[in-house]
Chain A
Amino acid sequence: MDKLRLILDISKTHLLAKKKQTLVAALGVTFGIGMFIIMMSFMTGLNILLDGLVLNRTPHIQIYNKTTPTEYQPANKYFDEVSNINQIYSIKPKSRLDRIHNALPILSELKKNDDVLGATPQTTCKVFYLSGSNNLNGVISGIEVNEEIRLFNFNEYVVKGDVNSLIKKKNSILLGSGIAKKLSLSVGDNIQITSTNGTNFSLNIGGIYQSGLAEVDDIQSFVNLKMAQQISSAGGNYISRIHVKLKDIEKAVPFSKLIENIYDVEALDINTANAQFDTGSDIRTLISYAVSITLLIVAGFGIYNILNMFIYEKMNDIAILKATGFTGKDVMYIFILQALVIGFIGAFLGMAIGYGGSVLIDNIKFETEALPTIKTYPINYNPNFYILGFIFATVSTFLAGYLPAKKAQKIDPIDIIRGQ
């Protein structure tokens, strides 16, 4: 303990005697760590934002009716494949309704499942939007608003008006922003729609829906589930899709397989639906790590240089300490400690600057039509970056200090004394 105190004492005097150099060395670390934290916070903030954009609104599993042809064709029933060669050309799927067979029992069974956070039905129908002499193709989905809000943050995408208007008024519609623009309609106006079988409905615009994806916003609108069933002129069991959110997204793949095995439906899991998306965010994370680590390594070289210089200037001190009975190890610890102190100061300043920079970016306005829920640049305040930065700072300063300190350990005091 006393020994440590002595070494600390000597290191402190050395560092304080060269305040400027100490500070410059520490600032090298500060810059590296600060940039690392800002980079990581911003990049992962962006990743989370983009992930969230997709993950929050994409169901973990989408269930809809099978449209692929049956694998076991009727011909196989009569001519067994062992003794016959069945070759059927251009197989077409059987014409089927858009609706999921037995949707309501499936829905209630899913809701009871322990893995399922929630499941919500949708009824989708193709329509024409009419306004004056214009008419546009489009799609209207009937939804259970409360469940959509709870599971998929639906409310975040209603940029004008009131999302709950669907519950309050039966003939309310949340109109896609692209459609609203083209037909120059706004909240409170009425819009005529025509269903595929020719029936006209007059709906009142309760809100404007904007997903940020133009191809969606140009065709998609939402109404109450009941309303959509009415537009499709079908009953309360007419459900064309079921969207499932699981408690654990990792289970999406096995769970979708399970659903397909049990029910006669198609179940699309989120991994398959967004395969390319994952790769994108992985690569972004990789790039930010690579850049940050490069910064930290550059900072490490800076420390190495300055400590080398420190030791060069302190040759006399080293010789005196050794001549008066300090061991090579003592001298080595003295310089390693100096490196570590520089590392600590640099790391703490770096964390402060990293945090300050993050707050600054967090407050910069960033408004874009594509991302209606975003007001400022995204920042991920993850304490792990601070811990990681701190660890890296201390490890790299230790390494950068170790080599020169090792050199100091080996210095022969006689060489220095004779050199005078």
Chain B
Amino acid sequence: MNSILEAKNIDKYFLTPTKFHVLKDISLQVQRKEFVSIMGKSGCGKSTLLYILSTMDTSYTGDLIIDGQSMNNQSKDDLSRIRNEKIGFIFQFHYLLPEFTVLKNVMLPALKLGKEDRKTIEKNALAKLDLLGIVDQANKKASKISGGQKQRVAIARALINNPKIIMADEPTGNLDSKNSEIVFNVLRSLSDEFDMSMLVVTHDHDFAAKTDRIIEMEDGYILKDKMEEI
């Protein structure tokens, strides 16, 4: 029982504009400390799957188990709490609160969790920003930094509560190769040092090649999952 995330027979339909079977019988596992990447053509359902796995989307059939706990009959508030504590999410498009400072953006999920006092949280947030090489931007407004910097702030935010698993939707999509390298290394070392699992959607073959396992998707199916081959 070493899997941090387990999905069994997940099906999802979009009903509008026409009934559309977007995810078809998806089953997968992510182990502790494992760094998994998901690849596939645009529109094959990667983001949709990630929203379900991150508990944000609840309209699907099938089972989802995170850290040994079934998500099937949880209330919305409980899901929020689980998301806050156990999952770090990095969106396809950097999603920051534009009116808040970079530092505040990173701190908010930890303040919500409320396990540490403000001082500690601020210290941790600065440490995460430092890790991503943007600590000098800490007191700028989030709307006043570059796209690549925003992406890294979003990563720092996903890390703040030391989640069990980080899910990322094309975290390096907007970054040059040097910055993608930085991001990859950060995620890699997190997974090694802090026992975090990674589930990363990417179009970048070089990036994917460096991960532990690649899951390939096509038209709502899992086409190839290297773990199954082993």
Contact = CB atoms under 8 A, between A and B. Distances in A.
B170 interface: no
Nearest to A3: B114
Given A13-B100, A316-B95, A330-B112, A325 B77 contact: no
A6 B111 contact: yes
Nearest to B100: A13
Interface string B80-120: 11011100010101011111100010001101111000000
A320 B84 contact: no
Contact of B95 (A320, A325, A327): A320
A328 B157 CA distance: 20
Contacts of B83: 323-325
Contacts of A10: 108
Contacts of B81: 325, 327
Contact of A325 (B47, B99, B109): B109
B76 A414 contact: no
A17 B144 CA distance: 14
Interface size class of B (residues with CB under 8 A): 20 to 34
A317 B99 CA distance: 9
A13 B50 CA distance: 31
B194 to A, nearest CB: 19
Given A13-B104, A414-B51, A324 B91 contact: no
Interface string A310-333: 000000110111111111111000
B104 A327 contact: no
Nearest to A330: B112
Contacts of A323: 54, 56, 83, 89, 91, 95
Interface in B19-47: 47
B84 A324 contact: yes
A10 B113 CA distance: 15
A20 B151 CA distance: 30
Contacts of A330: 112
Given A320-B96, A323-B89, A326-B112, A414 B77 contact: no
B77 A324 contact: no
B57 to A, nearest CB: 5
B112 A324 contact: yes
A328 B112 CA distance: 13
Interface in A1-43: 2-3, 6, 9-10, 13-14, 17
Given A325-B80, A325-B113, A319 B108 contact: no
Contacts of A319: 95
Interface size class of A (residues with CB under 8 A): 20 to 34
A420 interface: yes
A238 B4 CA distance: 109
Contacts of A328: 76-77, 80
A317 to B, nearest CB: 5
A325 B115 CA distance: 14
A325 B85 contact: yes
B57 A414 contact: yes
Interface in A281-336: 316-317, 319-330
Question: Which of the listed residues A9, A325, A326 has the most CB atoms from chain B within 10 Å of its own CB?
Answer: A325
Contacts of B85: 325
B63 to A, nearest CB: 20
A320 B51 contact: no
A309 to B, nearest CB: 15
Given A327-B77, A329-B77, A320 B97 contact: yes
Given A323-B83, A327-B81, A417 B112 contact: no
A212 interface: no
Contacts of B161: 325
A413 interface: yes
B56 A414 contact: yes
Given A6-B111, A17-B99, A417-B91, A327 B57 contact: no
Contact of A321 (B47, B51, B108): B108
A325 B157 CA distance: 12
A327 B99 contact: no
Contacts of B76: 327-328
Nearest to A14: B99
Contacts of A418: 47
A324 B99 contact: no
Given A325-B83, A325-B85, A417 B109 contact: no
A14 to B, nearest CB: 7
A327 B80 contact: yes
A312 to B, nearest CB: 15
Contacts of B77: 327-329
A325 B54 CA distance: 11
A6 B112 contact: yes
Interface of B: 47, 51, 54, 56-57, 76-77, 80-81, 83-85, 89, 91, 93, 95-100, 104, 108-109, 111-114, 157, 161
5 contacts: A9-B111, A316-B97, A324-B108, A325-B112, A328-B76
Given A6-B112, A330-B112, 12 more contacts: A6-B108, A9-B111, A13-B104, A316-B95, A316-B97, A319-B95, A322-B56, A323-B95, A324-B89, A324-B109, A328-B77, A414-B57
